[in-house]
Structure 1
Amino acid sequence: MILNKTSLIALFILISVIGVNAQTSKKLPKVAAKKLSTDSLKKKAAQDTTKKNTLKDYKTLLKKAKTVNGIFKVHQVETDYYFEIPLRLMDKDFLVVNKISSVPMAINEAGVNKGMNYENKVIRFHPNILAKTVWVKTIVPQVESPAGDAITQSVKDNFVGSVIESFKIEAYSPDSSAIVIKVNKVFDGTEKSFNDVFTNIGLGTSPKPSLSAIEHIKSFPQNVVVRSLMSTSVTEGQSTIAISVAVTTNILLLPETPMKPRFADNRVGYFSTPRWYFSDAQQKLETRELITKWKLEPKPADRARYLKGELVEPAKPIVFYIDPSTPKQWRSYIIDGIHDWQKAFEAAGFKNAIQAKLVTDSADFDGDDIRYSVVTYAASPKSNAMGPAVVDPRSGEILESDVIWWHNVMTSLQYWMRVQTGIIDSGARKNNFSVEQMGHAIRFVSSHEIGHTLGLKHNMGASVAYPVDSLRSPAYTSKMGGTAPSIMDYARFNYVAQPEDQVTNITPQIGVYDKYAIAWGYRWLDTQDPRKELETQKEWIKAHENDPLYHYGEQQSTIVDPRAQSEDLGDNAMKASEYGLKNLKRLVPQILNWAAEPGDSYYQAGKLYMATVWQWNTYADHVMANIGGYYLEHPVAGDGKKAYTPVPKAIQVEAMNYLKKELFNLPEWLFKPALLSSTFAIKDTPLGPFEYGPYNLKREQQSSLMYNLVADDRLLRLLEMETIYGKDNVYTVTELLREIRETSFKQTLKGKSLSLDERMTQQNYVDVLLVSADKLMEKVNKKSLQPLVKNNLPELCDLTPRAFQDNTAVKGDELRNIHVSSMTRTSDVASAKRGELIKILTLLEKNKTNGDEETRSHYMDLMLRIRQSLKIN
């Protein structure tokens, strides 16, 4: 091996470090190098009188203290706080959980609110007796190995914890069974080892200790709760904003014996946590994902009955408390949404498994205590909700969950119902709904978010199980329930049903898939080894593997599988969208009547109009996903399924025909002068309401959809299928571009003058080709390689209608994607797009003298743009 200069320097440093460590280790007594038992620690503390004489006297130190008993004794001496940690708890696993408790307006508007969990870590307190300190180590408890295996020592050596904090031992308890440490620095902003709030919420600043302080500390049987006020300042431009945030830190003792985990299967949608298993018998590392779930078990006395199929109550049910700040009229609907999961848990063999309680004066409840799960109501302009869980990473056990419920989520519900179902439901038309109407929608959102707190991910592929025409059937929708077999889909409300159908069951509900998923994850099996459950889990899946009602479709970062989309309904996007358009056509003439009472401005009408335009956009988006789409599955040997199946050519042609009618010839009914004379489409922004002129709105909507239609990823996916199946058997890039060109330049081919909208369509098509062709020639970004699966921890549910989303709208947990984009500039996409521009240029050259003056100027402009981009003289 030849070493260069850099390697030699590195080697020298390494040798030096090893030498120093070796010398240091020789000086340390052996007792400091090995884990001390509780008895030996007590003995050492009692015998080492020299050490004790250097410490403070316990009674003198805490003479004026106010003491709270709990897992640790917490002593307060004026503004100083001390933990008295029993030696028996040293080197035990604790989970530090940090949450927001109160926020100022500056970050409230950004969606940072009370109840949000922003940082968790597993720690251990470790006594360093010689140094008279207690070290805090953080560990990643992802690795497991059998106690008797030789490799276990290597596991211990290669996955050690890292020291993040050190506390001076101030005193020992009178019986030497506990150590007293002063903890101010990790909770008052001096150190960020336990709580780095401003980094974790994205501000990137540090607390100002002089403006930060501990507000109070409580101690409970299993945890300590610390509430602090953290202050900082953020400078934007020439303005500096002061920000003070109250944060709550829970230090929770994890169970001595972790819950028996259940291994994940990507055919059932659960959040998961990774686990690595090492053993001597292996030929490679065993990697698993553990589903996140509550520990639901039958009581020992009921286990025989349970195994016979009787419903029994769990030893410890799941209990949610309703935040007292929740408006009274909505509490019962939120509770109903929680209780709706009872029927799902009955499928797992448990009755009364999930409960909801109001907080009364007599309730045994403390909102800061992590042992309580709370539906927290946030007064905020954000219109979202989320259902995160606090998980024991050693087992996947959900220890606590909170639903964060933003007040303005009702705004989203109102616009969805008005735009999607106002035509068939007279109660969903005016600016203010009845309590019953809004409460029914709140119940649905409550159920969806509780589903996340139970461990379930979004199932964006559920809604495809219902035939489109069945959504028009009162009998079918009443029997099956709502709009999809899973409430974990973003299926929203039934926009397919027509007024004459008399369908009334139009809201998402807990369905067949939800019951199946809960049973799959929660049914108790009388085994101790999760591996012994695998065959049973697979059999449960096999029993329904060909039934679309039980299909799980992962949420996608880029829509590859058109069956797993947000906001769609039914098994045919074209047919569903056609029905949706019929209702939008009925809606547009009613906007002014529904949204503007006599004497009102047309502001609300303008916002409803914007929501209508974006609903039209959404339908086009759903359809477009079929072009270049694949049906994605997770096949296993023997089930006969394919991992990647191109959307059949006939369906892609059907999708293109829809777009030719709706996208390339923008609908006149959506831009009626009678409406536009009173209001333009309106979107709220930080600078106030923006009113979008119809020509501008048309250009933006059409351009964005066209750009998506000819996106590199889509064309590359078409090429992938052509590679596998041959161009005669799939929809091709050539066919797609030819159809767009012939549709966009239909009047040009006839030698006719063009209307303003027709000129706009041609300009948009040429522009998206020019922009994307130019980008193809840019240097390939080495960071473009994306993993197939991203972090799958619970994230914010995106409940904001597309009409009101900003560019940074959260899109939820983005998961499966197919990587096709590396080296795009050397693919057929580049030649296809440039070839298309040459074809258009040739067509324009032939027709540059045809049409009226505006048409001829338009042609000249397009020719100049193409020549300039392609560097043609």
Structure 2
Amino acid sequence: MILNKTSLIALFILISAISINAQTSKKLPKVAAKKVTVKTPKKAEQDTTKKNTLKDYKSLLKNAKTLNGVFKVHQVETDYYFEIPLKLMDKDFLLVNKISSVPLAINEAGVNKGMNYENKVIRFHPNKLAKTVWVKTIVPQVESPAGDAITQSVKDNFVGSVIETFKIEAYSPDSSAVVIKVNKVFDGTEKSFNDVFTNIGLGTSPKTALSGIEHMKSFPGNVVVRSLLSTSVTEGQSTIAISVAVTTNLLLLPEKPMKPRFSDARVGYFTTPRWYFSDTQQKLETRELITKWKLEPKAADRARYLKGELVEPEKPIVYYVDPSTPRQWVPYIIEGIKDWQEAFEAAGFKNAIQAKEVTDTADFDGDDVRYSMVTYAASPKSNAMGPSVVDPRTGEILESDVIWWHNVMTSLQYWMRVQTGVIDPGARKNNFSVKQMGHAIRFVSSHEIGHTLGLKHNMGASAAYPVDSLRSKTYTAKMGGTAPSIMDYARFNYVAQPEDQVTNITPQIGVYDKYAIAWGYRWLDTEDPRKELEIQKEWIKAHQHDPLYHYGEQQSGLNVVDPRSQSEDLGDNSVKASEYGLKNLQRLVPQILDWAAEPGDSYYQAGKLYMATVWQWNTYADHVMSNIGGYYLESPVAGDGKKTYTPVPKEKQQEALNYLKRELFNLPQWLFNPELLSSTFAIKDTPVGPYEYGPYNLKREQQASLMYNLVNDERLLRLLEMESLHGKDKVYTVSQLLKEIRETIFKQTVSGKSLTLDQRMTQQNYVDALLVSSDKLMEKINKKAIKSLNTVKNNLPELCDLTPRAFQENAAVRGDELRNVYVNAMTRTSDVASAKRGELLKILTLLEKNKTRAGEETQNHYMDLILRIRQSLKIN
């Protein structure tokens, strides 16, 4: 197998290492070990010494091009100088680094223009004796009252760290500012301000001879520096040159920070941590501040606002659409942005959110933090995300961007064809109409803008709609879309049947979204966030038992605990929803060749559509399976009558297993249509070209992964947890589950009949799942992995997973994993080990008893299973 250079570098880059809105840099300061002897002269002598040893301001900047802004920026040929007023020393600046252009090699890995990869708060500090300016980075996470005794301790225990030093080249003529030369932190010489290649996962350093500053701009609130940084990456025998343009913003943070708003786990906002110290405490007060825009009524309108009138905010939220966006999609992206206006009206504001096109491109820079941008990335990546630049002192969103990868349209196309093609004639061809695709683009635009407003995924929203209501034309028209929140992954309405004539089948902003925006943005006339939180709790209390207002945190797709909060599920009953979905898939499969292969075309697109169909079948089984061993998770408060952990009812778990008996243990023949398979196998693109999956191979792969998931340790351990709490008579148990699986899968064996190829495959997959997981039970616990699992990283952006499962890479897609129910310590001493081994022994006895009762293929199959089990259990 030969990989080209582009593929090599794309594979080499670990895109998951990107930390957009990254944590504070961990680079240690460079401290000079030079001893300085200081003689204290008189004041007049100090001034003379300063003037004699420093350069003359006019001579230094004689031929300079000067820009005025937050401070002056001077360019003398290739040298750049900051003239920083002394009044700005020790003020908070936010250093924001963004990618401005990339080569093909890292474009393929999903690194693109507009990505914000490293932020930190810095302060310039004058060291007059050494005639230098130090740059300190701080983590503004602590606060204490000015008059408290503990405040001095806070200052001593949370100091900033020096990351850079600059020589003072000159003072301004009136001695009110210092001039420093800043080339080294922007041209790749030093990494203190910008360590791009580490942050995007390359782990290399810039080559200074091939790097440099392209230009600088200075504005009233920020300085913008654009640089070209070059490196090379070697993989095997190939070395790839990589040059990346980066834009660094130095943004002066507000002198008066925004009033923060405390979070509540029952409403889904991104957060930033804050610690409060005071003399009156008996323990440290820790809070999470929600990330939100500073949206306030104008002073003259506040009385009207408090009376309930809609007023315009003092400063609206404005998004610009990238001029490089294809013109036909611009109106739909703008509509997706403006859709949020209705939600802001629930918070008391009109004209609060606006979308604009860039009319003057000459002075417009999308990487300037003065502008929030929907950035269009020409890339094969199929995704989108909505990161924000946040003031870590308060959670204020200062600027937001949506990164919109061009190929996201391929994902939308597959979803619509697979999920709604049988009820929507417009979603049946390889190329949709502009209106059809534009409608889907509008939905993605709204979803991503929701992230830039501070909202997290609400994966529990879709469970609020009764499944049969999704088949109602009047209900869907009234409620809108597929869930009460567009922040769910409730893609398109796969429940509705052709005879239902449902037309409102796309996600829309719903009841929860309006409620969440009002909860986070409604202005309250108080300066105390603690008092605000008490009022906000009353808002939650008013809806605490209404499922339309429920927030369900995103979970890892590999370990779903609450089956109500799943990706891409619909309705309040996953079994019923999946059964409706299967009916539509049955209608779809015979149409694949007609929908995806025009006369004269190859069957490549048909093969890809078929793969998407198979994975949609897999998704339905996955949704159902999550009920088994599932808990309904809540974040209750005292007095609301809710329980934190409630096992999924026993009968619902039994219903889920019955579905799997029908669909998983006996794979549906209609899914492997001979006529379709005579023209194309299922196809998946890979870095080395398309892979065509043989149907027997595809069956084994699909069934094996689901079977392994069904009996994985986490699921069985959760069943044991509930048995220990409630008793085996009130909950679904491990022994019940394993017994029913065995009796179903080995039913033909008990009757002495020969097995078909598919029946042998099912038995092999089940035994293999037990064998592999039993062997893993004896592995040592990885304590580092546990620690990593329980580390909360609220400041990471929401990277949406907009790739259909059929085309995802094998690596697990990162979920937020903010809520983890830890059950797997010392698994090898739990009842899971004895249950699985006991099950293997029961199967072994059954096989030994029946090993000669059937045809040759079946006998060979039984002997193979017997040998595998004996070898695993070390039975002679």
TM-score (norm 2): 0.95
Correspondence list, 1:26-37, <5 A: none
What is the aligned partner in structure 1 of residue 245 from structure 2?
A: 246
1: distance between equivalents of 2:782 and 2:520?
A: 41
Q: Is the 8 A contact 1:143 1:277 kept in 2?
A: yes
Q: Amino acid of the residue matched to residue 83 of structure 1?
A: F
Task: Find the residue that maps to 1:785 and give its secondary structure.
Answer: helix
Residue of structure 1 equivalent to 2:19 = none
Q: Which residue of 2 aligns with 1:533?
A: 532
Indicate the SS of the match to 1:265.
coil
- Residue 683 of structure 2 aligns to a residue whose secondary structure is strand
| Deviation, structure 1 residue 238 | 1.5
**Residue 24 of structure 1: CA displacement?**
8.7
Distance 2:843 2:139 in 1: 59
Determine if the alignment matches structure 1 residue 801 to structure 2 residue 804. Answer: yes
Q: Deviations over 1:626-684 (max 9, x none)?
A: 00000000010000100000000000000000000000000000001100000000000
> Partner of 2:550 in structure 1?
551
Shift of 1:849: 0.1
Residue 408 (structure 1) aligns with: 407
Matches within 5 A, 1:262-661: 262-361=261-360, 365-557=364-556, 558-661=559-662
* Amino acid in structure 2 at the alignment position of 1:719: L
Runs of 4+ in 1 over 4 A off after TM superposition: 27-31, 43-47, 786-789
Matching residue of 2:717: 716
The equivalences for 1:657-668 within 5 A come to 657-668=658-669
User: Number of residue pairs matched?
Assistant: 841
Map of 1:840 onto structure 2: 843
Contact 1:99 1:249 (8 Å CA) reproduced: yes
- Deviation at 1:743? 1.1
CA shift at 1:799, angstroms?
A: 0.2
Distance 1:30 1:160 in 2: 27
CA distance in 1, matches of 2:810, 2:370: 37
Write the distance in 2 (CA, Å) between the matches of 1:822 and 1:235: 41
Counterpart amino acid of residue 228 in structure 2: L
Distance of 2:336 and 2:40 partners within structure 1: 59
The reply to whether residue 821 of structure 1 matches residue 824 of structure 2 is: yes
**CA deviation after TM superposition for structure 1 residue 72, in Å:** 1.6
Structure 1's 742 and 30: CA in aligned 2 closer, same or farther, altered over 3 A? Answer: farther
Given that 1:796 and 1:810 are in contact with CA atoms closer than 8 Å, whether structure 2 keeps it comes out as: no
What's the CA shift for 1:468? 0.1
Q: Say whether the 8 Å CA contact 1:322–1:359 is kept in structure 2.
A: yes
Equivalent in the alignment of 1:791 = 793
Q: Is contact 1:45–1:176 with CA below 8 Å preserved after alignment?
A: no
Provide structure 2 residue ranges, at least 5 long, that are not aligned to the other structure: 1-30
The DSSP-based 3-state class of the residue aligned with 1:684 is: strand
Letter in 2 for 1:800: T
What SS is found at the alignment partner of 1:199?
Answer: helix
1:466-522 deviations in Å (ceiling 9; x for gaps): 000000000000000000000000000000000000000000000000000000000
Asked if 1:689 corresponds to 2:690, the answer is yes
TM-score in terms of structure 1 length: 0.95
Give the secondary structure class of the aligned counterpart of 2:705: helix
CA distance in 2, matches of 1:419, 1:165: 55
Cα offset, 1:29, TM superposition: 8.8
Task: Map 1:745-784; keep pairs closer than 5 Å.
Answer: 745-784=746-785
Please name the residue that 1:190 is paired with.
Answer: 189
Check whether the contact 1:785–1:822 (CA below 8 A) recurs between aligned residues.
Answer: no
Q: Tell whether 2:134 aligns with 1:135.
A: yes
- Deviation at residue 784 of structure 1 after TM alignment: 3.7
Q: In the alignment, what sits opposite 2:27?
A: none
Amino acid at match of 1:790: V
Q: Quote the offset at 1:154 in angstroms.
A: 0.3
- CA drift of 1:65 comes to 1.0
Separation (CA, whole Å) in 1 of partners of 2:350 and 2:829: 60
Given residue 838 of structure 1, which amino acid in structure 2 is its aligned partner?
L
1:865 maps to 2:856: no
Report the AA paired with residue 654 of structure 1: E
| 1:122-141 Cα distance to aligned partner (Å, 9 max, x none) | 00000000001000000000
Question: What's the CA shift for 1:704?
Answer: 0.3
> Which whole-Å CA distance do the structure 2 matches of 1:109 and 1:436 have between them?
29
In structure 1, C-alpha distance between the alignment counterparts of 2:815 and 2:690, rounded to whole Å: 27
RMSD of aligned alpha carbons:
1.7
1:809 to partner: Cα distance = 5.7
Q: Is the 8 A contact 1:482 1:506 kept in 2?
A: yes
Q: C-alpha distance in 2, partners of 1:789/1:572?
A: 32
Q: Contact (CA 8 Å) 1:45, 1:52: kept in 2 or not?
A: no
| CA displacement 1:842-863 (0-9 Å, x = unmatched) | 0000000011100000000000
1:807 Cα deviation (Å)? 2.0
CA shift for structure 1 position 782: 2.3
* TM-fit CA distance, 1:364: 7.0
- Give the structure 1 partner of residue 13 of structure 2: none
Instruction: Using the TM superposition, give the Cα deviation of residue 367 of structure 1 relative to its aligned residue in structure 2, in angstroms.
Output: 1.8
- 2: CA distance between counterparts of 1:813 and 1:456? 13
Higher normalized contact order (CA 8 Å, seq sep 6+, divided by chain length): 2
Structure 2 SS opposite 1:737: helix
Q: Which residue identity lines up with residue 803 of structure 1 in the other structure?
A: A
Residue 237 of structure 1: CA displacement? 1.4
The whole-number CA distance in structure 1 between the counterparts of 2:176 and 2:546 is 61
For 2:779 and 2:319, locate their aligned partners in 1 and report how far apart those are by CA, in whole Å.
53
Partner SS for 2:722: helix
Contact 2:261 2:529 in 1 (8 A): yes
Cα distance change on mapping 1:394 and 1:30 into 2, 3 Å: farther
Measure, in 2, the Cα distance between the counterparts of 1:312 and 1:364.
32
Distance (whole Å) between structure 2 residues aligned to residue 754 and residue 784 of structure 1: 42
Counterpart code for 1:634: S
Q: What is the rounded CA distance, in whole Å, between the counterparts of 1:824 and 1:362 in structure 2? A: 61
More divergent stretch after superposition (733-742 vs 327-336): 733-742
Structure-2 residue corresponding to 1:16: none
How much does 1:785 deviate?
Answer: 2.1
Question: What is the CA–CA distance in structure 2 between the aligned matches of 1:522 and 1:364, rounded to whole Å?
Answer: 32
> What's the offset of the Cα at 1:47?
4.8
**Separation in structure 2 between the aligned mates of residue 404 and residue 394 of structure 1, nearest angstrom:** 25
1:86 paired residue number: 85
Greater alpha carbon shift after TM alignment, 141-150 vs 237-246: 237-246
Which residue identity is paired with 1:816?
R
SS at match of 2:489: coil
Q: Tell me by how many angstroms 1:272 deviates.
A: 0.3
Look up the SS of the partner of 2:348 in the other structure.
Answer: coil
Which amino acid in 1 is paired with 2:792? K
* Partner of residue 25, structure 2: none
Deviation at 1:872, TM superposition (A): 0.4
Shift of 1:534: 1.6
Cα distance change of structure 1 residues 861 and 60 upon mapping to structure 2, 3 Å threshold:
same
Percent identical residues? 86
User: Over residues 435-465 of structure 1, what are the superposed CA-to-partner deviations in whole Å (9 max), with x where a residue is unaligned?
Assistant: 0000000000000000000000000000000
Q: Is the 8 A contact 1:797 1:811 kept in 2?
A: no
Partner letter of residue 821 of structure 2? I
CA contact (8 A) 1:798 1:809 kept: no
Task: Answer yes or no: is the 8 Å Cα contact 2:114–2:367 preserved in 1.
Answer: no
User: What does the per-residue CA deviation read over 1:342-400, in whole Å, with 9 as the maximum and x for residues that have no partner?
Assistant: 00000000000000000002897432310100000000000000000000000000000
**CA positional deviation for 1:779:** 2.0
Distance 1:835 1:137 in 2: 62
- Contact 2:555 2:815 (8 Å CA) reproduced: no
> Is the Cα contact below 8 Å between 1:46 and 1:176 reproduced in 2?
no
Partners of 1:115 and 1:313 in 2: how far apart?
30
Residue of structure 1 in register with 2:7 after alignment = none
Indicate if the aligned counterparts of 1:789 and 1:816 stay in contact, CA closer than 8 A: no
Amino acid at match of 1:852: G
* Gap runs ≥5 in structure 1: 1-19, 32-42
* Paired residues of 1:784 and 1:822 also in contact (CA < 8 A): no
Cα pair 1:652 1:731 within 8 Å, conserved:
yes
Is the CA contact 1:789–1:817 (under 8 Å) kept in the aligned structure 2?
no
Contact 2:482 2:506 in 1 (8 A): yes
SS of the aligned residue for 2:496 comes to coil
